[in-house]
Amino acid sequence: MQIYRIKGWFKQGLFKQKFTRDLLATSEAQAKERVYSEVGSKHKLTRNTVHIEEVTEIKPEDVTDPRVLAMLK
């Protein structure tokens, strides 16, 4: 399992809402799917309104999300 940091945005009303997510996933494609699923579900968006700009693999020391840190222990 690798750790990915995904940056992107979605349109909320008249504004762009930026987001950054740290996720544990087996591949980059799985990480993207989870972001589409989680962001879409939380904000009632379709996949074509969620825009992923950057997907990078990060080291465990660089993780900022406490949920991912708890999974690493």
Distances (CA, A) of 51 to 4, 35, 47, 62, 68: 16, 10, 8, 23, 22
Instruction: Grade residue 37 by pLDDT with cuts at 50, 70 and 90.
Output: very high
pLDDT above 90 (res 73): no
> Which architecture, in CATH terms, is 2-72?
Roll (3.10)
- Averaged pLDDT for residues 15-24: 96
Domain ranges of the chain: 2-72
Instruction: Give tens-digit pLDDT for 38-66.
Output: 999 999 999 999 999 999 999 999 999 99
- Helix, strand or coil for residue 3? strand
Stretch 7-28: mean pLDDT? 95
Half-sphere exposure of 46 toward its Cβ, with a 13 Å CA cutoff?
A: 1
